[in-house]
Amino acid sequence: MTRPGFLDQTLFDELAEKAADSPRGRQHHNFHQMDEPCHRMAVGLQPSTYIPPHRHLGADRAETLLVLRGRLGVLIFDDAGAVMDKRILQAGGDCLGVDLPAGMYHGLVVLEADSLMFECKAGPYRPVGEGELAHWAPREGEAGVAEYHAWMRAQFD
């Protein structure tokens, strides 16, 4: 039997610090083993992180995101890249999270430093696959990321 994993301020502070030190501006803390059928993780996020629009294909690939600290913006896109919906997710706010059906394009922007979210989705882990990254948005490390990321953030100004 493994030990319980607590979502406490010590963990939150550690994740925020590690995310701030990370070149990608984010840090995961897994509560699961990689081969488990349900993946549960806390994720520390900084405003510099770029989470490109993507979707998870497969009938069992829905995911739930809950904000534990700070503020995030979630954008929901149609298949051509038009914004269908957007919402601010805020710890203690009117909307704390989102439950995303499988196959739905979505992207996140971090609106407050040291934000944290809890993410739950089906395992086992597999990298984003063919057809899951949005064809209209740049991928991490590609030209145009800074401009596209700024556009995503501007949707919440």
Q: Is residue 100 part of a domain?
A: yes
Task: Give me the mean pLDDT over the 17-44 stretch.
Answer: 94
Q: Is residue 117 part of a domain?
A: yes
Q: Is residue 95 part of a domain?
A: yes
Mean pLDDT of the chain: 94
* Digit-coded pLDDT (tens) for 5-21: 999 999 999 999 999 99
* Digit-coded pLDDT (tens) for 71-114: 999 999 999 999 999 999 999 999 999 999 999 999 999 999 99
Q: Is residue 1 part of a domain?
A: no
Domain that holds residue 114: 9-127+134-154
What is residue 124's predicted lDDT score, i.e. its pLDDT?
79
Model confidence band, residue 153 (pLDDT cutoffs 50, 70, 90): very high
pTM, full prediction = 0.93
Q: Is residue 3 part of a domain?
A: no
Task: Give me the mean pLDDT over the 41-52 stretch.
Answer: 97
Show the beta-strand stretches assigned E in the chain: 26-30, 38-45, 51-54, 63-69, 71-77, 83-90, 97-100, 105-110, 115-122
CATH number, domain containing residue 142: 2.60.120.10
Model confidence band, residue 58 (pLDDT cutoffs 50, 70, 90): confident
Domain tally, the chain: 1
Class of residue 70 by CB neighbours under 10 A (exposed 0-12, middle 13-18, buried 19+): buried
Q: Are 119 and 65 in contact (CB under 8 A)?
A: yes
Q: Is residue 2 part of a domain?
A: no
